[in-house]
Structure 1
Amino acid sequence: MIKGKNIVLAVTGGIAAFKAAALASKLSQAGADVRVMMTEGAKEFIKPLTFQALTRHRVYDDTFAEEEPEKVAHIDIADWADIFLIAPATANVIGKIANGIADDMVTTSALATKAKVFIAPAMNVNMYEHPAVQRNMERLHNDGCTFIEPGEGYLACGWIGKGRMAEPEGIVSFLEEAGSQKANKKILQGKHVLITAGPTHESIDPVRVFTNHSTGKMGYALAEEAVEMGGEVTLISGPVQLKTPRGAARIDVTTAEEMYDAVMEHFDKADVVVKTAAVADYTPVETSDQKVKKQPGNLIIEMKRTKDILAELGKQKTNQFLVGFAAESEHVEDYGRMKLENKNLDMVVANNITSDNAGFGHDTNIVSLISKHEDQIKRLPLLSKREVASEILKTAVRCMGGERQ
């Protein structure tokens, strides 16, 4: 993706502008031809001479500085680019480009380019989470821009949270990965992908619920990856503290019964169904409308079985490719194979929830992919959940293209 490519690095006015110098250097070292442009705000944090020395090219910072009379600079550089990277991207420049405002070198070139646009936001956590900024990012995502998500941690303003620009090494790796997986990015084009995620809550009274440790991270990673692969994504989510993946249609539910109803409503039009949700197997027979008061002695709550969503999907499926998860603490692959057969699934993603850095709440996972359509079990090493999601979806697409049983 990088070697031999023409990359415009647009630097805007935030404290993270100092990282852009290292980024320009690393892109050049990776074999790219890098041209830097800067906003006036960016020049308050770092001088153009720094980038000129690192790239051996002039820095574009004035829309009206036409050094070559036969060319219009902002159009010429926009046409030259293979990749247009905005890093750091402030809330201001994101808002301008999202709304078609072109009043400086960066925004005019960004609107004029036909290159792939990558945006690495950097700002205060409250700014990043503001509805207006989120709307602007959603609009740019829908327009075809790709966001390189900021990290979480201590910010220059003193707040702790999400908003720190991705590290230069991470941005370079992101661009390389985007190139290496380019052929995979639209493999779900024309497919409807139905994903369930998160826990369910089964109420005892207005205060207490039965639930589990699922955070929804695996399901949301699958939704993000499925959107990137061109799929039409419906995400049915239990109660979680996660933002809706850009491009996915999210349906919020609370109980196992509500999740069952939502899944059945959308199942017929689905091509791929991935059930990651940790749905309660039991729910209280009776739910109190008032808080149950503490009393002497033990409390006994009678429970009844909930509907087995995955088993029901296995009975009803026609052409859908059905993927289930087996989160186990022992005999993981054996239980996974049993689930594959007993519930008429096409693939099971089996993982040991007792493994270090895997399972509920972690950003990484270790899984085995057990498919009805492939003889070998695919055992994956410790990967990010987004990487696991990519492997699951690529395997599903490969199996769908082969002989179906």
Structure 2
Amino acid sequence: MRILITAGPTREYLDDVRYLSNASSGQMGYALARSAIQAGHEVALVSGPVALTPPEGCEIYPVETTDEMFKQCAKLFTDCDGVIGTAAVCDYRIKTRKPGKIAKTGEAITLELVETIDVLAELGTQKGDRWVMGFALESQDARFNAVRKLYSKKCDAIVLNSVSAIGSNENHVEVIDHSQKTVATYSGPKAQVADSLIAWIQKHIAAGQ
């Protein structure tokens, strides 16, 4: 298979210096890329800014903003068999980016934010006969929100994990499919969890395409 994987955070600049982002390390996405390559698959890795070395043998496409990630993924997805969306994209951007550097005035300022494009949901609308696996990092109403994302992003399965996974070498995940039930649970080092997820994809999603 040829698999598209998104990883890491994205950045949305407020001005030429400051930006909105999150603490995603990209470790899970990079671990999945490595596991997929070791399992004999081709990998196109679209990565936000991280301090990680791409796995040997994968195609790497560095991006910074959410829009850049979407445009790169849209180009690549047509030639892939499926996508694993682990990237923690920035959900909001400033409506009008300020030129230069916003100066301090000693008073409160108001920034008008608008939603960014939902990368995985957009790919889901274009999936055709390809498969889509999403990741849902939730802190409240975890299962409800994961199932909602499963359908809104047109995923074949979604991986639920918690905020504790950010920056950690370990992870605990639940795989939820269209039965709305947990069909697999994996815990341990992210490399081990990645191996299990790639094996699950091969058996339960890719085999049925």
Please state which band the TM-score falls in when normalised by the shorter chain.
over 0.9
Which of 87, 103, 106 is 1:296 aligned to? 106
* Counterpart check, 1:377 vs 2:187: no
Q: Which residue number in structure 1 is paired with residue 204 of structure 2?
A: 399
Q: Which residue number in structure 1 is paired with residue 31 of structure 2?
A: 221
Mark the CA change 1:194 to 1:402 in structure 2 (over 3 Å): closer, same or farther: closer
- The separation in 1 between residues aligned to 2:170 and 2:5, in whole angstroms, is 19
What amino acid is aligned across from residue 369 of structure 1 in structure 2?
V
- The separation in 2 between residues aligned to 1:398 and 1:293, in whole angstroms, is 55
- The separation in 1 between residues aligned to 2:20 and 2:148, in whole angstroms, is 27
Q: Which residue number in structure 2 is paired with residue 204 of structure 1?
A: 14
Secondary structure, counterpart of 1:195 in structure 2: strand
Q: Which residue number in structure 2 is paired with residue 360 of structure 1?
A: 166
Task: Give 1:402 shift.
Answer: 4.9
What amino acid is aligned across from residue 367 of structure 1 in structure 2?
V
- The separation in 2 between residues aligned to 1:378 and 1:244, in whole angstroms, is 27
The 5 Å alignment of 1:175-190 reads: none
Higher relative contact order at CA 8 Å, sep ≥6: structure 1 or structure 2?
Answer: 2
Task: Give 1:367 shift.
Answer: 0.6
Query: Unaligned regions of 5+ residues in structure 1, if any?
Result: 1-190
Q: Which residue number in structure 1 is paired with residue 70 of structure 2?
A: 260
Relative to the length of structure 1, the TM-score reads 0.50
Q: Is this contact kept in 2: 1:285–1:303, CA < 8 A?
A: yes
What amino acid is aligned across from residue 148 of structure 2 in structure 1?
M
Secondary structure, counterpart of 2:165 in structure 1: coil
- The separation in 2 between residues aligned to 1:373 and 1:266, in whole angstroms, is 30
Mark the CA change 1:401 to 1:275 in structure 2 (over 3 Å): closer, same or farther: closer
What amino acid is aligned across from residue 219 of structure 1 in structure 2?
G
The 5 Å alignment of 1:331-346 reads: 331-346=141-156
What amino acid is aligned across from residue 198 of structure 2 in structure 1?
L
Task: Give 1:334 shift.
Answer: 2.2
Which of 92, 96, 102 is 1:282 aligned to? 92
Relative to the length of structure 2, the TM-score reads 0.94
Q: Which residue number in structure 2 is paired with residue 317 of structure 1?
A: 127
> More helix per residue: 1 or 2?
1
- The separation in 2 between residues aligned to 1:231 and 1:241, in whole angstroms, is 24
> More strand per residue: 1 or 2?
2
Q: Is this contact kept in 2: 1:202–1:209, CA < 8 A?
A: yes
**How many positions carry a matched residue from both structures?**
209
Q: Is this contact kept in 2: 1:330–1:352, CA < 8 A?
A: no
Task: Give 1:289 shift.
Answer: 2.3
What amino acid is aligned across from residue 383 of structure 1 in structure 2?
G
- The separation in 1 between residues aligned to 2:63 and 2:204, in whole angstroms, is 31
Task: Give 1:401 shift.
Answer: 5.0
Q: Is this contact kept in 1: 2:150–2:157, CA < 8 A?
A: yes
What amino acid is aligned across from residue 229 of structure 1 in structure 2?
A
- The separation in 1 between residues aligned to 2:167 and 2:208, in whole angstroms, is 36
Q: Is this contact kept in 2: 1:321–1:396, CA < 8 A?
A: no
Which of 175, 188, 192 is 1:387 aligned to? 192
Secondary structure, counterpart of 1:377 in structure 2: strand
Q: Is this contact kept in 2: 1:373–1:403, CA < 8 A?
A: no
The 5 Å alignment of 1:128-207 reads: 191-207=1-17
